Structure 1
Amino acid sequence: MTTTEAARLLAEHGLNEVSADHRVPLWARVAVQLRDPLITVLLAAVALTLAVGDHPDAVVIALVIVVNTTVGIIQEVRAESAVTALSQLSAPATRVLRDGEQRRVPSAEVVPGDVVALAEGDIVPADARLTEAAARWSTSRG
């Protein structure tokens, strides 16, 4: 495969990567946090304390709900950021045969038809068809 053909296939098929999940809107994150059983009990407690006219206690309970929800959302966003950062760090390079020679390219740029050269310990960058393999087996046992 030539570099020109690989560029055309890359433009046609896009990058060789799993599409990122769509961003969860803030209102959906809040809804998930508020569905927690403990928060549901606290919301009921707010309604009851307001019904009996104990406004200071209702405000305190509502503040606890707001703080808990905020902390939960912050932790969720940080966890997503950490996962994204780790996936970017683990994006390996791959050896492919282009223009008659082996070249290292980012795994995201592997296209259909590329001949990928794999060695022991390499990460397989895409669905592939195995055309040739060689293995050395040791028969000695310690």
Structure 2
Amino acid sequence: MKILIVNGPNINLLGIREKGIYGNTSYEMLCEKLKENAKELSLDIDIIQSNIEGEIINYIQNALRTYDGVIINPGAYTHYSIAIYDAIKAVNIPTIEVHISNIYNREEYRRKSVIAPACIGQISGFGIYGYTMAMIGMKNYLENLDKL
């Protein structure tokens, strides 16, 4: 199974930005941990990050016929990017939305995801472990598609 992990704006600043919310783990450490976990789960992953909405849309569109699933942390685009929502719907690849913090326990404007309705699920509030949870969930989902 081939999975694309897409990280949106400011995720590249993990370990630097708002450590009380996002923790001390750097983006590089996150990527290494995800590669280790993917290997243990027998998943083939690619990880990308962009601060630019159009690039994220291009990554999602280019995932078509290449990836079995997408895991996305859209960052702040979560709350207003209909374009990313449309891209996920257009390619029709199973997608899981991930957030390091619990977006429902934050500022009011962060409590709404316009991306989630395009996804098979959402994981929020488990720190960087949420990505691993998403990989486990995606693997289970893809292995059991015929039983859904």
- Shorter-chain TM range is under 0.3
Could you say which structure has the greater relative contact order, defined with CA pairs below 8 angstroms and 6 or more residues apart? 1
Greater strand fraction, Structure 1 or Structure 2: 2
TM-score when normalising by structure 1 = 0.22
Of structures 1 and 2, the larger Rg is shown by: 1
